[in-house]
Copies of this chain bind each other. A is one copy, B any other.
Amino acid sequence: MSLALHSQAKVFSGWHKQYTHTSDVLNCDMRFAIFLPESASFDSPVPVLYWLSGLTCTDENFMQKAGAFQKAAELGIAIVAPDTSPRGEGVADDPEQAYDFGLGAGFYLDATQPPWNQHYHMYSYVTKELPKLIEAHFPVTQVKSISGHSMGGHGALSIGLKNPQQYRSISAFSPIVHPSICPWGNKAFSHYLGDDKATWLAYDSCELLKNSTQSVPILIDQGEADNFLAEQLKTEYFVAIAEQMDRDIEVRMQPGYDHSYFFIQTFIAEHLEFHARYLK
């Protein structure tokens, strides 16, 4: 498991670095980014927040646009941002190269249908291979939380709910909470997982929450002016299930905010403070 440094820049006295590596799970070369606060050292390792980005993104969008590093440096938290799908010439893409399926749209699941099952195993990559790599190479502890935006909000919620012992806390911006019943989820799940909708439920955060037995603290921010709210995100389903359960779940509807990184920028410090309470 060797890493090649792709770029590095000092930021808030810590470091933003990008690395490439060959992923066994995805069967291709991948790039990820890591922010390491100045306080991180092998004598004094720090916990990690995994950030999962949305449709069309790479490891770069959050790192460049979220404005997260000042607070992460202050709290002593590393941030790891993987890409949003397998990449490379041999990796199948949507025949129409649509933005919402194939490259840049891995949906953080393990595909079972050909040709997608050759590379599209983002679930196993994010939950197993990547943390193993990070913990082997960087001054971090095994203590971790998970967050993400839109498709990555779906990723953070579904991964966190499926692995309550692995993540201390979960947060999301504008998540796709109920992919089984929205157009983005329908398209992706039918190709990656096939037509048997029973298999979809294993990656649907509403279903996972309903059936979960262990409580992991969850914070969700959702902009009320988000163009995707009604058709794709469907936050109200998650809220309705959460209200029936006695769980530590907060869903904040934010008036006037849209689906952009300007929204994320506004509340990322509060998400980092939320995670920091459980990462210590």
Contact = CB atoms under 8 A, between A and B. Distances in A.
A70 interface: yes
B262 A9 contact: yes
Interface in A54-71: 64-65, 67, 69-70
Contacts of A223: 10
A225 interface: yes
Interface stretch (A142-150, A186-194, A252-260): A252-260
Contacts of A41: none
A138 interface: no
Contacts of A12: 265-266
Contact of A16 (B9, B13, B69, B262): B262
Interface string A1-31: 0000000011111001000000000000000
Interface residues of A, number: 23
A9 to B, nearest CB: 4
Interface in A232-260: 256-258, 260
Contacts of A261: 64
A65 B269 CA distance: 16
A225 B266 contact: no
B263 A11 contact: yes
Interface of A: 9-13, 16, 64-65, 67, 69-70, 223, 225, 256-258, 260-263, 265-266, 269
13 contacts: A9-B257, A10-B223, A10-B256, A10-B258, A10-B262, A11-B263, A12-B266, A13-B266, A16-B262, A64-B65, A67-B67, A67-B265, A69-B265
